[in-house]
């Protein structure tokens, strides 16, 4: 035995799961318009590149399930729809300021229901703690925003993505793993 203490070898374990969600992903025009609404709210603003509308939050999922999750996404019939984001609101319990719609198109609810059904059919559980409330988070740790008039954002929403989320020193980082787009109107 040599003098000194042995140090255990440090091995970084390969990641076995990813934190995942499905979302409508805005194009550059919609993203810029959504980001402009952040001036009306307090709190920790959602980074520009992270603005999205969650359809289903999956939490930590085994990496082995990625193929199935990508197939579910590819099998979705994504409607070609316009979302009129005309309402700023606030979730009191989670202290989230958001923008949403007074009247969301039925196609959005149908898309979300079909996604949830396809996930359940594969035995994959999505977060269902509350009913689907379509919104884009503008800021966290916010106070209730004043009801100020604003120009509605008309978002041509036709891009659904499977997103991996990781918490880094600089905050949440999102990475698109797969996407599915609506067929353009004929």
The overall pTM is greater than 0.85? yes
Quickly count: other Cβ atoms within 10 Å of residue 149's Cβ. Answer: 5
Q: Which residue has the higher pLDDT, 45 or 2?
A: 45
Residue 185: its pLDDT value, please?
Answer: 52
Contact 179, 159 (CB under 8 A): yes
| Mean pLDDT, residues 86-93 taken together | 95
Q: Is the pLDDT of residue 13 over 80?
A: no
User: How much is the pLDDT for 72?
Assistant: 97
Instruction: Name the CATH architecture for the domain at 17-179.
Output: Alpha-Beta Complex (3.90)
Rounded Cα distance between 22 and 115, Å, is: 9
**88 has pLDDT over 70:** yes
Please give the positions annotated as active site.
Answer: 52, 135
* Helices 106-121 + 66-75 axis angle, to 10: 140
What confidence score (pLDDT) does residue 175 get? Answer: 96
Can you give the pLDDT at residue 138? 97
The answer on pLDDT for 4 being more than 50 is no
Identify the residue with better confidence: 118 or 15: 118
Q: How far apart are CA 180 and CA 156, in angstroms?
A: 14
Per domain, the residue ranges of the chain are 17-179
Q: Is the pLDDT of residue 169 over 90?
A: no
Instruction: State the average pLDDT for the chain.
Output: 90
Greatest mean pLDDT range, 22-26, 76-80, 140-144: 22-26
Reference 150, options 41, 56, 70, 42; nearest CA is: 41
């Amino acid at each position: 035995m040599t003098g000194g203490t042995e140090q255990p070898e440090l091995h970084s374990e390969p990641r076995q799961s990813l934190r995942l969600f499905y979302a409508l992903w805005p194009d550059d025009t919609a993203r810029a318009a959504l980001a402009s609404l952040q001036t009306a709210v307090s709190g920790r603003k959602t980074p520009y590149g992270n603005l999205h509308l969650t359809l289903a939050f999956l939490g930590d999922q085994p990496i082995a399930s990625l193929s199935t999750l990508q197939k579910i996404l590819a099998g979705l019939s994504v409607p070609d729809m316009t979302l009129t984001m005309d309402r700023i609101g606030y979730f009191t319990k989670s202290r989230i300021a958001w923008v949403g719609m007074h009247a969301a198109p039925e196609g959005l609810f149908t898309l979300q229901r079909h996604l949830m059904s396809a996930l359940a059919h594969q035995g994959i559980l999505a977060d269902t703690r509350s009913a689907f409330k379509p919104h884009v988070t503008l800021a966290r740790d916010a106070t209730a925003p004043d009801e100020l008039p604003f120009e509605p954002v008309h978002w041509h929403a036709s891009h659904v993505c499977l997103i991996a989320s990781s918490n880094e020193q600089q905050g949440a980082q999102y990475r698109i793993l797969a996407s599915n787009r609506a067929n353009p109107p004929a």
